[in-house]
Amino acid sequence: MMRIAIIVGSTRPGRKGEVVAKWVHGVAQGRSDAEFELVDIKDFNLPLLDEPMSPMMGQYAHQHTKRWSAKIASFDAYVFVTPEYNHGTSGALKNAIDFLYHEWVNKAAGFVGYGGASGTRAVESLRLVMGELQVADVKAQVGLSLFTDFENFTTFKPTSGQETAVNAMLDQVIAWGGALKALREKRVEGAW
């Protein structure tokens, strides 16, 4: 069974990311075509990137990196739940991505963005990063607005249709994740 991580992309106290990611996880668990796990980058206590060698070398000096590497390597695909900070993703999520390389390569990813403008630009910024990591990012994405999906900009109440949007995104992640899993298992010479 394909394993998909739902990654909580914000770490600040009072973050909305946790409730959003838990909701995505709940929707995902209604499916039987993959296994889903909530992965909170906050739990890994990653400092700002402090590895002396490039992650492409895969030779990690620190225990926090080895732990993060083992977790991320164990999945076939990812759903990044990202806030929008200044038209980009969070520094915390970008930093966590930068810690690793081969763990991400030839996997699939989908996005759930949220913010004043539904996290659209945060997702676009992540798509650029995915290209370098050879992650196949799917078109269908979920955008949650502070204006319409949160009551008084505070309490998360996703509008009708958002659950359908999550499932449409997961359909694509599972399809591409499966294709890439087969590719990885073939270990095509020179593929990465």
Q: Which residues make up the interface to ligand FMN (CB under 6 A)?
A: 10, 12, 15-17, 83-87, 115-117, 146
**SS3 track for 166-189:** HHHHHHHHHHHHHHHHHHHHHCCC
Q: How far is CA 117 from CA 7, 147, 175, 179, in A?
A: 20, 9, 28, 32
The residue (of 74 and 154) whose beta carbon lies closer to ligand FMN is: 154
Measured from the CB of residue 123, what is the shortest distance to ligand FMN in angstroms?
11
Is the CB of 15 or the CB of 64 nearer to ligand FMN? 15
| Closer of 66 and 87 to ligand FMN (Cβ) | 87
- We find the least distance from the C-beta atom of residue 88 to ligand FMN, in angstroms, to be 8
d(CA 159, CA 148): 7
Q: In the structure encoding, which two tokens stand for residue 52, read together?
A: 């002396």
Instruction: Please report how close the Cβ of residue 179 comes to ligand FMN at its closest, in angstroms.
Output: 31
Q: Nearest distance from residue 141's CB to ligand FMN, in Å?
A: 15
Cross-strand partners of 80:
7, 111
- Specify whether the backbone of 118 is left (phi greater than 0), alpha (psi in -120 to 50) or beta: left
Kindly tell me which of 17 and 177 has the beta carbon lying closer to ligand FMN: 17
Task: CB nearer to ligand FMN: give 89 or 106.
Answer: 89
At position 13, the amino acid (one-letter code) is: P
Q: How far is the CB of 111 from ligand FMN (least distance, A)?
A: 14
* CA 135 distance to own-chain centroid: 11
